[in-house]
Chain A
Amino acid sequence: MEAIKKHFPIFRHQKDLIYLDSAATTQTPQVVIDALTAYYTNYRANVHRGFYALATKATNAYESARDSVAHLIKAKREEIIFTSGTTMGLNSLAYSLSPRLSHRDNVVLTRLEHHANLVPWQEMAKHYGFELRFIELKKYELDLESAKKLIDANTKIVSFTLVSNVLGNITPAEELIRLVRQKAPRALAIVDAAQAIAHLPIDVKKLDCDFLVFSGHKMYGPTGSGALYGKKMLLDEHLEPFFFGGEMVRSVSYESADWMPSPHKFEAGTPNIAGAIGLGAAADFIMKLGWKKIQNHESELTAHALKKLKNEVTIIGPVRNRIGVIAFTIPGVHPHDIADILNQKKICLRAGYHCAEPLHHYLNISATARASFGIYTTKKEIDALAKGIQKIKKMFL
């Protein structure tokens, strides 16, 4: 996989960089940088507006990026709405869906959720009075028995992560959604795929989710890009636009307006054109590498890391059914000290709550350190991490 590193210019510019924070944001391959540069240098124009050739070229590139993103998750192109990322996707859904809910209803989340899939629902619950429920964990895994008890006829939304950004576990999404269909046939299932998108093949039809959101910057794409997938029928008939303005309207009078068909009715204003084009290039990059190669490499890395670290640190997360996001603690050493000392060896990893503070309290742990991998991560880098940890322990204990 050293060969894959060559696709990422940062590793040429930052010699000896050991980047173990891909769960926060991934690095950018040259093909994505090239796609952004090509738009800015060769054919920049607004999309869906101009009649001249340059605008057509920009529009084609933007719409072809939609094809690439659709292809990545096996959706139809009209089911892909470009967003600025997962947070915007989840907020848009919360704002758009919550006004239909009342004090009799409930929204089911899980104990795992990132703040982005918790705080918007808390805020909406204040306005619309619905109840929030949380599926419990059992040995770090979602407990489907708890889900069975919590989801009932008054459940209107079930929103959950496909991979925890702290524990790294892959949730039983298909089973959970099947359960939702049985217990609450009219509820909508939302999947937060932020941590899954670069690491697992996703098939939205097989998952049978109603909506799925992710960020470009966690899948080797540009910051400020992302997508919201919605089932076509729901986008056409159920979900109201959340922003209003140019591009999303078909005709407008001083009194009122009507909307373009989806997905355009959800993309008001000039979008992040370069970002969408870069996101498309990132999706192509992943598809070209192929899931088999990505998953083989990353599962080997994860197994290697778990083996190397298991006797040095306390790993917070399951052993199986997980990806390369590994949270850990060293009793007697604060995670910030761990990250700070590793930083001096050019090892980047994150320490703190990782935007999942309630999960830490729920598990009765204070902050954690977290190492997370991408396709460019190597075993040698994990060995360097293990060595760094041994040094820290010598210093502190």
Chain B
Amino acid sequence: MTDAIYHELLLDLYKHPLNKRVLPDCDARQTEHNPSCGDTIEVCVKWDTNNAVKAVAWQGDGCAVSQAAASILTEKIKGKKRNAIKKISNQKMLQLLGLKNLNPTRLRCATLCLETLKKICR
């Protein structure tokens, strides 16, 4: 199937997610919900002494886009400072996912994890 959204990397991440686990005694925890499709993402972060990500994990369920985004993003931010995470744009998120021109409903799926993380970094 020639499919712009459901490319191999995305499907692969959906089937074999990264960093999807429980993180005991984390420093910050945040859950976000996308009511239009019922996607839920919970992100947990542990900071090191420099205010950078020492460990990160996520849990949740939802569509392939939101789930793949969570894997990619949590992978990307390991070792990153709070301020650097705050600066990640939606555009950047799509780029990480290898997607363009998502319709607005799907865009919310793609950025749900990013939104959650930004709340943690506030």
Contact = CB atoms under 8 A, between A and B. Distances in A.
B109 A396 contact: no
A366 B6 contact: no
Interface stretch (A92-100, A109-117, A333-341): A333-341
Interface string B31-46: 0000011110000000
A64 to B, nearest CB: 41
Interface stretch (B57-65, B73-81, B88-96): B57-65
Contacts of B100: none
Interface residues of A, number: 16
Q: Which 5 A-B pairs have the closest CB atoms?
A: A334-B63, A336-B63, A367-B38, A336-B37, A337-B64
Of A336, A341, A366, chain B has the most CB atoms within 10 Å of the CB of: A336
Contacts of B62: 334, 336
A391 interface: yes
A344 interface: yes
Contacts of B14: 396
B11 interface: yes
Contact of A352 (B1, B38, B65): B38
A341 B1 contact: yes
20 contacts: A334-B37, A334-B62, A334-B64, A336-B39, A336-B63, A340-B6, A340-B106, A341-B1, A351-B37, A352-B36, A352-B37, A352-B38, A353-B38, A367-B38, A391-B1, A395-B1, A395-B11, A396-B14, A396-B15, A396-B64
Contact of B61 (A341, A351, A352, A366): A366
Contacts, number: 46
A336 B65 CA distance: 10
Interface in A335-369: 335-337, 340-341, 344, 351-353, 366-367
Interface residues of B, number: 19
B3 interface: yes
A352 B62 CA distance: 11
Interface of A: 333-337, 340-341, 344, 351-353, 366-367, 391, 395-396
Contacts of A335: 37, 63
Contacts of A351: 37
B107 interface: no
A395 B3 CA distance: 11
A366 B64 CA distance: 15
Contacts of B63: 334-337, 340
A217 B1 CA distance: 35
Interface string B2-22: 010110000100110000000
A341 B37 contact: no
A366 B1 contact: no
Given A334-B63, A367-B37, A391-B1, 11 more contacts: A334-B39, A334-B61, A336-B62, A337-B64, A337-B65, A341-B3, A344-B1, A351-B37, A352-B37, A366-B38, A395-B6
